[in-house]
């Protein structure tokens, strides 16, 4: 086997020279997906102490244990942030990464305050929920939202790679795809969650509830003179306070606004704004059934 594989090595190495764009052989030291995944695991322990531990957390050890975890988390995250910053700015000083990480650590208490509202929204919004413990331990939306809220802080500090790896880690575990750029208010609940997509420039108000399969996406992409998609710009909808969006609805466009307290029924496709206090449905009268034989 070794002899056969060795004979094929030359072709593979030649492809490294011939096919560019997917190699990083002699380039920058990029952020490690494996390291960021472990950082996310540890972050959940810091955000929800006692919920992601195998052993009970003794009250007399909480100060020392939290300090140890926080120092380890901050140091490892600093290393990955340095790598991310140096992709765009090779000479970026490590001191800048340290400042970004310290700013994030400073924000953790306020993130926890927001997550407390998210857990409460899940408890109040789901009649099947029995306790906060059940929600924190088993509801995928809490994990996805927790990681996104922290990744959003890094996104605002222009650390795109690490923040995106974090939310994609949560996506792979929960089936909920929230871009780190999305701005999300308090008391946010995603029921079931599977297949939810929330784009980078979405702005979501407070007390918004989404069901599975909801997409808050882009309507179209502007292109330059060479036909390439232009980056940036407002591409995703705004969802105002108190909105509920039922399963498998798709809402597209940067100019689309779902007015406060509106309800969007299941399977609705929207590319236009909706005024406050609206009810949007897709009813049986709109369904056409045609014989396949014809």
The per-residue pLDDT for range 12-63, each reduced to its tens digit, is 777 777 776 666 666 568 899 999 999 999 999 999 998 877 777 777 788 8
Domains of the chain: 28-175 (1.10.3130.10), 195-294 (2.160.10.10)
**Which among 143, 142, 161, 153 is positioned nearest to 33, based on CA atoms?**
161
Mark the ranges of the chain whose per-residue pLDDT is less than 70. Answer: 2-3, 20-28, 285-292, 294
Q: How far apart are CA 132 and CA 149, in angstroms?
A: 19
Residue 267: is it exposed, middle or buried by C-beta count within 10 angstroms (0-12/13-18/19+)? middle
How is the chain classified by DSSP, letter by letter?
Answer: -HHHHHHHHHHHHHHHHHS-SS--SSS--PPPHHHHHHHHHHHHHHHSTTTS-SS---GGGHHHHHHHHHHHHHHHHHHHHHHHHHHH-TT--HHHHHHHHHHHHHHHHHHHHHHHHHHHHHHHH-TT---HHHHHHH-HHHHHHHHHHHHHHHHHTT-HHHHHHHHHHHHHHHS-EE-TT-EE-SS-EESS-TT-EE-TT-EE-SS-EE-TT-EEE-S---B-TTSPBPP-S--S-EE-TT-EE-TT-EEE-TT-EE-TT-EE-TT-EE-S-B-TT-EE---GGG-----TT-
Reported as a single tens digit per residue, the pLDDT across 194-222 is: 999 999 999 999 999 999 999 999 987 77
pTM for the structure as a whole: 0.88
Give 1's contacts (C-beta < 8 A, 6+ positions apart): none
**Which among 142, 253, 169, 164 is positioned nearest to 203, based on CA atoms?**
253
């Amino acid at each position: 086997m070794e002899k056969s594989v060795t004979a094929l090595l030359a072709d593979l190495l030649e492809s490294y020279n011939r096919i560019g764009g997917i190699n990083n052989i002699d380039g920058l030291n990029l952020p490690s997906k494996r390291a960021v995944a472990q950082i996310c695991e540890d972050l959940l322990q810091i955000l929800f102490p006692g919920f992601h531990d195998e052993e009970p957390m003794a009250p007399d050890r909480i100060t020392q244990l939290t300090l140890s975890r926080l120092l380890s988390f901050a140091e490892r995250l600093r290393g990955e942030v340095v790598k991310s910053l140096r992709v765009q700015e090779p000479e970026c000083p490590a001191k800048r990464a340290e400042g970004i990480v310290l700013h994030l650590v400073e924000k953790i208490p306020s993130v926890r305050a927001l997550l407390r509202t998210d857990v409460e929204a899940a408890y109040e919004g789901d009649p099947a929920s029995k306790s906060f413990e059940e929600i924190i331990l088993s509801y995928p939306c809490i994990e996805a939202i927790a990681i996104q809220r922290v990744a959003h802080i890094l996104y605002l500090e222009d650390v795109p790679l690490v923040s995106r790896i974090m939310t994609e880690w949560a996506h792979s575990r929960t089936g909920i795809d929230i871009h780190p750029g999305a701005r999300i208010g308090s008391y946010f609940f995603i029921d079931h969650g599977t297949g939810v997509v929330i784009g980078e420039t979405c702005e979501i108000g407070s007390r918004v509830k989404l069901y599975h399969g909801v997409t808050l996406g882009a309507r179209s992409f502007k292109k330059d003179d060479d036909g390439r998609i232009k980056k940036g710009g407002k591409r995703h909808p705004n969802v105002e306070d108190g909105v509920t969006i039922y399963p498998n609805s798709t809402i597209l466009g940067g100019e689309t606004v779902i007015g406060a307290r509106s309800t969007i029924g299941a399977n609705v496709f929207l590319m236009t704004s909706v005024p406050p206090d609206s009810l949007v449905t897709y009813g049986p009268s709109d369904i056409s059934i045609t014989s396949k034989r014809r």
